[in-house]
Amino acid sequence: MEPPLTASTLYLVATPIGNLEDITLRALRVLKECDVVAAEDTRRSGQLLKHFGISKPLLSYFQFNEAKRSEEIIARLQRGEKVALVTDAGTPGISDPGERVVKAAVAAGFRVESIPGACALITALTASGLPTGEFHFIGFLPHKSGQRRKKLESLKSFSGTLVLYESPYRVEKLLGELNEVFPERMVVLARELTKKFEQFVRGKPAELLAMVKKLKGEFVVLISPADGDEPEGREEAETENAEDQVGNNPI
């Protein structure tokens, strides 16, 4: 039998990024035994908890109320509560809320425990065919074109695989920028990760630009190193499935 949860502990619980089977047994136990769940979106997390037959108080915690909610979470930890922190999908703190409350909890002397599980970054990287020994995670690029271009230019000399997240509304723009900055690099677009129509599309930026309009969903974009070992056997876009798929779920 597993030991009970520890009082005054902040648990960072990874949740599914697509397939509900991404959830771990340990994550389910923590969610069942904690006192409160701090969630990026209480509606989405409420649906997840309901699916697994779990009923817990939910505390809204997102980008624009992080400071206030961090104080409340620290107060709960001071009372001896066990707090589980979740985001809409994936691992808290990875391009999602969580970093601020973790810093606050550590500074206040409380235990922080990560419950590992799904993460779009690792899922995409390991299946990309690109080198995994050294990589640099950028997260989301700035929205402004000048800042985006400056950031991409600064990454040209990095020796490992580059990994970033992009929305369906800006991925075509990104590929155009990559075609200017990294025209000869191998790029991998990973979408619908762990879902029924999971797809990896590989090619040079110009090649991917020709097909990206047929692809929907949130993307993990991977760029080969400067001296890149390109993966063998490029995959063409699965156009038959891509045309009618909707990928609104976050990564």
Q: Provide the pLDDT confidence category of residue 62 given band limits of 50, 70 and 90.
A: confident
In angstroms, the Cα distances linking 86 to 15, 166, 185 are: 7, 21, 35
> Where, residue-wise, is CATH 3.30.950.10 in the chain?
120-242
Which fold, 120-242? 3.30.950
Residue 139, helix vs strand vs coil: strand
Chain segment 118-155, per-residue pLDDT in tens: 999 999 999 999 999 999 999 999 999 899 999 999 99
User: Do 12 and 93 touch, CB atoms closer than 8 A?
Assistant: yes
The pTM assigned to this predicted structure is: 0.86
Q: In what order do the strands lie in the sheet with 161-166?
A: 135-140, 161-166, 219-223, 187-191, 199-203
Angle (CA) 209-173-145 rounded to 5° is 150
* DSSP code of residue 215: -
- Bridge-partner residues for 15, per DSSP? 90
> Where, residue-wise, is CATH 3.40.1010.10 in the chain?
9-115
To the question of domain 9-115 being in CATH 3.40.1010.10, the answer is yes
Q: Angle of helix 66-78 relative to helix 99-107, nearest 10 degrees?
A: 40
Question: Is it the case that residue 241 has pLDDT exceeding 70?
Answer: no
Q: Angle of helix 171-181 relative to helix 145-154, nearest 10 degrees?
A: 50
Chain segment 189-201, per-residue pLDDT in tens: 999 999 999 999 9
Chain segment 107-120, per-residue pLDDT in tens: 999 999 999 999 99
Question: Is it the case that residue 251 has pLDDT exceeding 70?
Answer: no
